[in-house]
A and B are shown apart, each in its own frame.
Chain A
Amino acid sequence: MSTAARVRCAPGIVWVKDTGRALLVDGETGRLWALQDADALTWELLSMGYKYTDLVRMLALLLTLSEDETSAVLDDTLARWQAAGIVLAAGDSAHG
């Protein structure tokens, strides 16, 4: 199973949806991210607590990709987000 299976939104991040974009702010550092299109969709579904397999299924249907293709895109996205600190491995405690 992918490492992304155990990812969740970082608790210090607050976000709003704005005409198809997700605008994220790290409450501690003030850093901002503007996620577009498929990234915004992924963020919103992740923040609703979907598990990895369900996320893949939903995204595949929404983006009209195969589940394998979706899985590859999702792994890449989550790895980037983990490096940026906007998602955490599910076992990690909140920073701060």
Chain B
Amino acid sequence: MRNIFAVPIRDQILIYAPLHNLAALVSPTLALRLRDLLASGEPAGDGPLGELVDLLRDEVTEPAPLQGEFVPSALGLLPTRGCNLACRYCGFIASEETQFVMSLEMARDAVNWYMDQVQRSGAPHAEIHFFGGEPFCVEAVIDLAVHLAQRRAAEIGCTLRFEVATNGTFSEARCYWTADNLDTVVLSFDGPADVQNLHRPYKDGSGSFDAIARNARILSEGANSVYFRACITEATVGRMPEIATWFCQEFRPDAVSFEPLQPTPWSDNAGLVPPDPWAFAHNFIAAAQILEAHGVRPVYAPAEIGARQVTFCPVGKDFVIVAPDGVLTACYLLRGEWEARGLDLRLGRMNTDQNGAVQIDPEAVESIRGFNVHNKLFCAGCFARWHCAGGCHVNHILGSQPGDYDRLCIQARIIALYNILHAMHHDELAHTWLQDHAALARSVWQASDRLADRDGTL
């Protein structure tokens, strides 16, 4: 019964069993009867309750951490940690790690190693992601990696997909190349000119809006998938519906991901403050409705109810990220950031003095596979555990007591519940629930959502 959850939604109970692919709204009395029947194993008889009990008695398999032989699921290349922008919330500008630039030889060796692994494992598909800093600050690494991987994929006979996370300020010619050659472009784009230029100026202080808006238009016309990733602060949270409308009117993204500001010393200095989580959730939902009406997918990653995962991100998924200094890592944050939290997310290294030999450390692989929600006891009773999986392993510090939810948990829980009700076509109920702060608070502040933990007060 550990994967059957019960969350109050006004005067009803949402029974949510993501691993059974089941959600149902029932009365509190029925929820308690359901709990007792599941606990006792008694026959439930015919009728709707009996059917529900039968479905919930089905054995389900929990998502498991990776085990066994290490086969890279994808390759990430970080051509540089440097950037041409000086975003007000970004810690990369001040890091010493920005001095390294990946050599072409290292990019070649990394791609060859990865494609050898794809060939050896017989995988039908290869996937290469570019992150930064700003990856297009070292265009030659991207060009080399793309051409080499395309040649190798043709030899091996596998499909190949490229993704880039970029600030989108490249030249027009590079933008057309990107539209033609990369499958998914994730553009960090915070909104209209006043927001974008305030948050994401060039190093000389001038605004980056004109370049990104031109390129977002070009990419919108291309065949690739374009995702906008917008950082939301306390000052812009109320503008999320307006930003969503503007994105849809001006461009044609496939998805828009809104991400609350992750506070840093630099954002503090710039006077940028994370949004209130309740306001973020409300405005995300309002923005999501606008996006969906335009055929654009709204994304708040921890609340993606289609996901069944043990880890939120590349960490723990055998995804290999090559840093410009040849260190292989599981996370694309600066090494200094995870080290400051006492974490070691290195998977191995590339030895440029030994013909680019790649060394994966098996102990590191095991340790990093341990970064998963099975080891996050705080999340054990949360209905969103297989979607959110505890969030970022570096930046999301989990509470010490069950139910000690922070900003991420509050907004993830509200948005995930809304997503479930929306998927059930209970939009009317979702709307009244969102307007009823006391009911919303009751849904959020449950120390455990497990049906088995519900007492007579349900």
Residues of A within 8 A of B (CB): 17, 20, 41, 44-45, 47-50, 54, 57-58, 61-62
Contact = CB atoms under 8 A, between A and B. Distances in A.
B151 A62 contact: yes
The 5 tightest CB contacts between A and B, nearest first, are A61-B108, A62-B147, A61-B104, A58-B144, A62-B148
A66 to B, nearest CB: 14
22 contacts: A17-B181, A20-B150, A20-B154, A41-B147, A44-B147, A45-B143, A47-B173, A48-B143, A48-B173, A48-B174, A49-B173, A50-B140, A54-B140, A58-B104, A58-B140, A61-B104, A61-B105, A61-B108, A61-B144, A62-B144, A62-B147, A62-B148
Nearest to A63: B151
A57 B141 CA distance: 12
Nearest to A45: B143
B177 interface: yes
Given A48-B143, A62-B147, A57 B177 contact: no
Contacts of B108: 61
A44 B177 CA distance: 9
Contacts of B147: 41, 44, 62
B104 A17 contact: no
A46 B320 CA distance: 31
Contacts of B173: 47-49
- For B105, B139, B140, B150, which residue has the most chain A Cβ atoms within 10 angstroms? B140
A45 B148 CA distance: 13
Nearest to A58: B144
Interface in B180-236: 180-181
Interface string B169-182: 00001100100110
Contacts of A44: 147
A49 B154 CA distance: 26
A17 B147 CA distance: 12
Contacts of B150: 20
Contacts of A48: 139, 143, 173-174, 177
Contacts of A17: 180-181
A58 B173 CA distance: 19
A17 B181 CA distance: 9
- For B105, B151, B154, which residue has the most chain A Cβ atoms within 10 angstroms? B151
Interface in B144-165: 144, 147-148, 150-151, 154
Interface string B124-148: 0000000000000001100110011
